[in-house]
Structure 1
């Protein structure tokens, strides 16, 4: 599991679409899709239901979203301490 995978996860959860998340993150849509695939494989569960209207969190995705946000906040905090 990598920071980029969790950033992609949170961005898709917030925006509801992989293409919009990719644009917001500055990645290609296939790169974001791959990051989610890797995260899902690492966790052993699907995080999104994908359809023509976008991506919706699964039950498991909803359960880990608060932890993913907290982890990214902590990671950003650590980066700011090191940069100071």
Structure 2
């Protein structure tokens, strides 16, 4: 039986400031997350430290609502992605 959490797509951000704030909030609140860069963003982030492409943030299903509320409180009017499980890595 697999007890690993299922990660759910929370939000896609293209703004570096929002990205840094969201990931910092999650680290501070000990909310696990996975980031997947769009396009060639992961290579750009490795080489240059940031990316002009968006990044999608996933959180575990068991803490999705807490993470969503935290982001919604910090960023008025932010658009959340559809509730989708992470595809196989």
TM range (shorter): 0.3 to 0.5
Structure in which a larger fraction of residues adopt strand: 2
TM-score, with length taken from structure 2? 0.36
Structure in which a larger fraction of residues adopt helix: 1
